[in-house]
Structure formats: C-alpha cells, structure tokens
Structure 1
Amino acid sequence: MREDEIGSLAEAAEAEFMYQYESTASPATKRALGIATARIGGGVCLSVRHDVTGYWSKALGFGVTEPVTEELVDELVAFYLAEKAPGAVIQIAPARLPEDWPEICRRHGLTPTSPWIKLVGAVDYVQMSHTTDLSIRPVDACDYPLWASTALRGFGMPTDGLSDMLAEALAHPGFRPFAAWDGDEMVAAANLFVHGPVGSLNATATLDTHRNRGAQSALIAARAKEAANAGCRWLCAETGKPGDGEVNPSLTNLVRSGLRPLYERQNWAWSPGGSTESEGS
C-alpha cells in the first residue's frame, strides 16, 4: 500500500475516534462542557466550549475524501464562531494542504503551533510483548470511569466533565481500552480504536508516580496484539514533535515498538476575531 493511502487511513481513524469521544457524550455532559460536533467536508469539527485545556476543540480528517479548499475552511470557522468557541486547532496532513494555504491562513488568522508526528506500522512488525512489573490487561466496563480519570491525570488535565465524556465514549464497539495496574491501583491508561484495517493507538498516559517502568511499551504491545486479533493490518499513532535538544518518550517508545514516522503534521491555531475579514467588518 502506498504511503499516501496509509496516511489517509490513519487520518480518517484519528478523526473518527476523536469524533466518538465527543459526540457520544450524554446530553448532560454535552451541556456541562459545551460540546458540539459536526461532519464537514469529509472530516470532523469538534468544539468543547468549556474545556480549559484547549485540547478537545479541533478539526481534522480533511483532504481524504474531499479536497481542502478555501470554502471548507470558511465553513469550519463559521462552525466555531457559531459555537462561540474560544479557540480551536485545525489539523491537516501536509500532502493535503492546497497551494493557496498561506492565503487561507492569512484570511482566518491561522497560526502554526506545536507540530505532531504521525506514525504507522504493519501490525505483523510491531512488538506484541514487553516485560514490565506492572499488570497489563483490558479494562472492564465497571472501570471505565477509573480509566478515564487515570488517562486525564496522566496527561495533566482536569477530570471534571472530561472524565464523564471519555468514560461514556468507551461503550463504542471500536474502542478497546487497556490499563496498567500496580496491585489494585490503575497507574496508566491507553486505548485502541479499531477502524477497518487500521488500529489507532490513542489516549496513552502514565501517572507521574509510575513512569519509566515500561507501562507505555507494554500497553503498545498489548494493543498491537488486540489489533491483530481484530483483523487490523496497520497500527497508527500520533505524538508531539520534540523541540531541539528535547526527547519525547512517547515517540521513542512508539518507534522502538516498530512504528515509523510517516510525516510531520503542522497544527494550525484559530481564535475568534483573528481573520482579516472579521477585523474589517
């Protein structure tokens, strides 16, 4: 399979699991967090108005089934303005950006922010075992709330509202949550999203107290085995690009486990009032 085809599968899988995390929230959770979701131009547009982290409001998955155009970005911006979003991030694979992207960015005040690295690997070549003194196993439905709070705490995010959102989403049949346990304590969380031939690794986080004990590598291996059992041919993941002189342990663990960087994807930040058109209106 060509790299652009693999990239399209990976982008579509990421967009879909993000959509499911937010769109399947209960009405009460949606009201509390100000969640709104939409499918636009072959991708997804997600707004969480009351999310203090700024992470969960994003638009992604574009350029796979429909081209990225000025009109598409106009529609995305209109969605966020209608939702009174304080900001959002637009994520588009580099090969999907149109020639007039700089002009589109100027019109809407889109600014580059921390880039991510998209990684992929054939399931058969990803390690499916890793030794750790922690217990690695799938998460039962009764522990979904604990899994959600552990993941958020591992990322340094608040749990209010967001924990309910994540826990409620895990009932989706495509999600396969795993965790690492130290005795009776859940100390790391990770999820697998099965989307056709792709298994998308996501939501991997370890509590500060249990880092450097092999939890992430073991969770990658467990999910790779689960993805193979589910019939997936590919594993994909995304993580932040480390700065000069810095190391991203997640990137190191993913590469060591058999995934390879496919491309660097620039994130584009949008904020209300940032476009030249709105300033002149």
Structure 2
Amino acid sequence: MIEPSDLTPLAEGVECEFMYSYESRAPEPAYTDLGIATTRIGGGVALAMRNDPSGGYWSKALGFGITEPFTARTLDDVLDFYREQGVAQAVLQLVPSVLPAGFDEVAAARGLEAGSTWLKLAARPGDVAAAPTRLRVGPVPTAEAERWANVLLSGFGMPAGGLTDMLTATVGEPAWRPYAAWDDAELVAGGNLFLHDGAASLNAAATAPGHRGLGAQSALIAARARAAAEAGCQWLFAETGKPAPGTQNPSLNNMRRAGLVPLYERRNWVWRSTP
C-alpha cells in the first residue's frame, strides 16, 4: 500500500526540480525576453516569469516543507521575491501537511486567496499498464523538438515563441525524457518525463485536437513509465487538477487507468500584486 506521508517529500521534490529546470535552463534570448528569474528559498523554489504569455502559469513557488519547516517568514521571503521581480500574479503550491498553525489567517493577511486544488498521484513504474494505440510512440528526435513543444503549448492554450524555446531545450538533456506520438509522419501528441533522485515525474502532456481519442496519452504514460524503470527510478509521480463535482478531468482518468494512485490533494494559493 502507498503511504502518502512516506512519499510526499519525494513527490514534491521531483516536481519542484522539474519546474526549476524548465525555467532556470531556458536558453537565451527566451530567458531574458520572458523575464525569467528563479531562486531557492526555505528548501523550495520560487519561479518568476514577468512576461508570461500564458497569463500567469509559470510564476509559481513549490517544494516547501521537504528539508525545513515552511514558516510565515519563508512565505514573506517568497512574496518579497515576486514583488522584486515585478510579476502581477504568482501561485504558491503548498501541501496541507506543511502549513503552519493558523495559516489561513497568515495567508489572508498577505492577500493570498485559496485557488484550485490539484491531485498528486504515484505508481511504481513497473506497475503502469500497457496501452495499445495505432499511433507510433517514441522519444522525440532533435529535428522534431520544436514541433513537439508547440503541440504541447497548443494543448494548454499557450502561445508559441519563447515558451517553445524553453520546452525545446529539454530535448537531449540527461534528466529529461521527452516522448511523442506520430500518426504516420505527423507528430500529434507529446509528453515529458523528468528524472531526479530515484524518482520520475510525468509532465507537459497534450494531444493535437484532431487526434484525441486515439489513446495517445495512455500510450505516452506507458512509454514514459518504461523509460523511468529503465533509468532505475523506484517511483513515478504526476499531478493534475481535481475535477469539480459532477465533472471529469480526462488527464486524471488516463492516469488512474494506467495505475497511478492519488496520494494527496494540494491547494494552489494565489497572490496578486497591489498597485
């Protein structure tokens, strides 16, 4: 049986590091044009993208409570960082178990608002189910890195450009395993995998609109799980939004069918700058 308390540090740690890798290693001129700044605070990371074309996704802070307690002082240091970087909005992704007593009052006093809830999931890589599809699935070659990145961005409603360069930079990097699905010669879906400290994390998965319903994402989950196992990872993690009552999240459904098990819920706390 999976015990959430045992895996929380590993699950949060690998997500923290893949987000840090995406942004801190973005190539020039994308790094400067997007207004990226990154720092490590209180055992976690704070990531800022001042010129975020997605509308705010990439300015976030996470990974707290792993190596040291998350305190009001840590929170103040994070918010000071965002003020210094001039971002309009940032999201703090905090596991409930790391919050200090009275955090609701602490958050309210600093203008934080409780936002959406995400689910963290886990599985042993070898336990992830195989998923047949007529599409061809495999690692992303360098020649198709840009197409792969743009398919992912389009799937999340994010524009091509600097973000394309940021995602493309992961292709060929030792800690990353980008995968794609092709319909004949056309790259139609993709997802990424990050390896860190004996763990692996699924992330950035999307399928082009005309090719949904063909099992691309289930096959990509299975392929990345095999890659994680081959790399010697003991655990595979993922996160996705918790659906509202009466609704479905296809990403969550795909993960659960593949054998990933929900570990815990995590609140997104939203901070907005004041004039």
User: Could you state the TM-score of these two structures normalised by the residue count of structure 1?
Assistant: 0.94
Runs of 4+ in structure 1 off by over 2 angstroms are 169-172
**Equivalent residue letter for 2:61:** A
Q: Is the 8 A contact 2:241 2:249 kept in 1?
A: yes
Q: Which of the residues 99, 113, 116 maps onto 2:118? A: 116
Following the alignment from structure 2 to structure 1, what is the Cα–Cα distance between the partners of residues 93 and 171? 24
Following the alignment from structure 1 to structure 2, what is the Cα–Cα distance between the partners of residues 224 and 74? 38
Q: Is the 8 A contact 2:140 2:171 kept in 1?
A: no
Shift of residue 107, structure 1, vs aligned partner: 1.9
Shift of residue 2, structure 1, vs aligned partner: 4.3
For residue 78 of structure 1, what is the aligned residue in structure 2? Answer: 80
**Equivalent residue letter for 2:7:** I
Aligned Cα RMSD in Å?
A: 1.3
Q: Is the 8 A contact 1:22 1:169 kept in 2?
A: no
For residue 224 of structure 1, what is the aligned residue in structure 2? Answer: 225
For residue 91 of structure 2, what is the aligned residue in structure 1? Answer: 89
Shift of residue 27, structure 1, vs aligned partner: 3.1
For residue 143 of structure 1, what is the aligned residue in structure 2? Answer: 144
**Equivalent residue letter for 2:178:** P
Answering whether residue 189 of structure 2 is matched by residue 167 of structure 1, we say no
Following the alignment from structure 2 to structure 1, what is the Cα–Cα distance between the partners of residues 64 and 33? 28
Following the alignment from structure 1 to structure 2, what is the Cα–Cα distance between the partners of residues 217 and 2? 25
The aligned runs of 1:43-82 (5 Å cut-off) are: 43-53=44-54, 54-82=56-84
Q: Is the 8 A contact 2:199 2:234 kept in 1?
A: yes
User: Could you state the TM-score of these two structures normalised by the residue count of structure 2?
Assistant: 0.96
Shift of residue 142, structure 1, vs aligned partner: 2.3
Following the alignment from structure 2 to structure 1, what is the Cα–Cα distance between the partners of residues 27 and 103? 37
Following the alignment from structure 1 to structure 2, what is the Cα–Cα distance between the partners of residues 172 and 184? 24
Q: Is the 8 A contact 1:137 1:179 kept in 2?
A: yes
Q: Is the 8 A contact 1:151 1:188 kept in 2?
A: yes
Q: Is the 8 A contact 2:170 2:178 kept in 1?
A: no
Aligned residue for 1:263, secondary structure, equals strand
Following the alignment from structure 1 to structure 2, what is the Cα–Cα distance between the partners of residues 3 and 113? 22
Identify unmatched segments of 5+ residues in structure 1. Answer: 275-281
Q: Is the 8 A contact 1:126 1:258 kept in 2?
A: yes
Answering whether residue 34 of structure 2 is matched by residue 33 of structure 1, we say yes
Aligned residue for 1:222, secondary structure, equals helix
Following the alignment from structure 2 to structure 1, what is the Cα–Cα distance between the partners of residues 228 and 11? 14
| Post-superposition CA distance 1:57-90 (Å, at most 9, x none) | 1000000001110000000000000000010000
For residue 19 of structure 1, what is the aligned residue in structure 2? Answer: 20
| Post-superposition CA distance 1:24-59 (Å, at most 9, x none) | 012311111000011111111000111132111100
Shift of residue 171, structure 1, vs aligned partner: 3.9
Aligned residue for 1:169, secondary structure, equals coil
Identical positions, percent: 50
For residue 252 of structure 1, what is the aligned residue in structure 2? Answer: 253
Identify unmatched segments of 5+ residues in structure 2. Answer: none
Shift of residue 108, structure 1, vs aligned partner: 1.2
For residue 212 of structure 1, what is the aligned residue in structure 2? Answer: 213
- 1:198–1:189 distance in 2 versus 1, CA, 3 Å: same
Aligned residue for 2:177, secondary structure, equals strand
For residue 101 of structure 1, what is the aligned residue in structure 2? Answer: 103
